[in-house]
Amino acid sequence: MSSWSQALTFSSASAWDEVFTGFHGASRITVPDRRAPWTGRLEWQRSKAYGLAQCSLGEEVVHRDTRHIRTDPRGTHELLVPLTGSAWVEQAGASGEIGPGVMALCDIDRPLTFAHGTDLRSISLIVNGHNLSARSRLAAGVPQLLHGDRGLGRVIRQLTTTLHEEREHLSETTFDIACDRLLDLVCLAVEGGVDSAPTGQRANVEAEIRRYVRERACDRDLDVVGIARALGWSARYVQQVLQAAGTTSRDLIRRERLNVARTRLASASWTTYSIAEIAHASGFGSHASFATAFRAEFGMTPREARRNGQDPAK
C-alpha cells in the first residue's frame, strides 16, 4: 500500500471519533453505548487535492454544527456513496435517506446531521470547495441528492467504487486525474438533475432566479442564458426550475418589465416621458408589443393607466 493510503480497524468508538474528526472535521458523535463492543474499519487515500475514504462501522449520529465549523473550517464538500445499508442526511433545510440507489453531495462547512445503523458501508469523496465551485456553482451551492442506480449516477457510483478498489495501483498524479474526471461527472449530474433535487431546494433556486430578474428586468439583453451564467447554473436547469413553478424565463422577464412600466406610468417623476420612452426604458423592443402585453396583463392600455393616474392593478 502506498504511503499516502492507509487502512485502520477500530475496536472502540472513542478511537473512531478521533480519526473521523481528523478526516471530516470537528463533530459531535453520538453512539448508543460507548461501553459496548465496537467494530469499525476505515480505508482511505488522500492527495493534496482529493480524499477518498471507505468506512464500515457501528451505529452513530454525527452532528457538525456552527460551533464546529467556526473552530474547524474545512472548505470541502463530500460526495457520500453508500454501498450497503442506508443513512439519513440533513443539511440546509433539505433531508433524505441515502442508500445504494441514492448519493448525497454535502458542504462540510454547513451544519450537517448524518445518522446510520450498523449495516452502512460507504465511500466518501472529499473535494476542495473552490475546485467544485469552479466547475459548477450549483453543485457547490446547495446539498444535492443524486440517483445512483441508473444513468450517469450509476456511472459515478461505479467509478467511485473502482477508484477505491484500485487505490494501491495508482500514483497520486493518476489518482488526482481520475478524481478530476469523477468530479466532472458529478457536476454534470447535478446540472441536469433537477428532478432529483429536494422540493425545498427548488424553491430556493426559484426565489434567487426571480430576485435576479426583478433587479435587472430593464436590461434589454436579459434572457435565460444570461440568468444562468450570472447565477452559475445551466440554462437547462433554470428552465426546469421555472417550468416546475408554472412559468418560463420569457414570461417571468416580461411580467417583471410590465410591473416596472406600470409603476413608472403612475409615477409623477416619469410624466415628462412618453409611453414609448417608458416602454423602451423598461426593456421592451417596441411600443406596439409593450401595449399589447400591458393590456393583456392589466386589462387596460398604457394610455388609460397614465390618464387615470393610478396603479392599474387597483
Question: DSSP secondary-structure letter at 232?
Answer: T
* Per-position pLDDT tens, the chain of length 314: 445 677 888 888 888 888 888 888 999 999 988 888 778 888 989 999 999 999 998 899 999 999 999 999 999 999 999 999 999 999 987 788 999 989 999 999 999 999 999 999 999 999 999 999 888 887 888 788 888 888 888 999 999 999 999 988 899 999 999 999 999 899 888 876 544 444 446 777 889 899 999 999 999 899 988 887 777 667 777 888 898 889 999 999 999 999 999 999 999 899 999 999 999 999 999 999 999 999 999 999 999 999 886 544 44
Exposure string over 178-217, b if 16+ CB within 10 A, otherwise e? bbeebbeebbbbbbebbebbbeebbebbbeebeebbeebb
Share of residues in the chain with pLDDT > 90 (%): 58
What is the residue extent of each domain of the chain?
A: 5-196, 200-308
Fold of 200-308: Arc Repressor Mutant, subunit A (1.10.10)
Fold of 5-196: Jelly Rolls (2.60.120)
pTM over 0.85: no
Report helix, strand or coil for 114: strand
**Burial degree of 111 (CB within 10 A; 0-12, 13-18, 19+):** middle
**H or E element at residue 54:** strand 50-56
Tens of pLDDT, residue by residue over 224-240, are 888 877 776 677 778 88
Exposure string over 130-143, b if 16+ CB within 10 A, otherwise e? ebbbebbbbbbbbb
Instruction: In whole angstroms, give the CA distance from residue 152 to residue 47.
Output: 25
Report helix, strand or coil for 30: strand
Integer angstrom CA distances of residue 105 from 65, 94, 136, 173, 216 = 17, 12, 13, 24, 31
Residue with cell 450570472: 230
Tens of pLDDT, residue by residue over 55-112, are 998 899 999 999 999 999 999 999 999 999 999 999 987 788 999 989 999 999 999 9
Residue of 218, 220, 217, 236 lying closest to 228 (CA atoms): 236
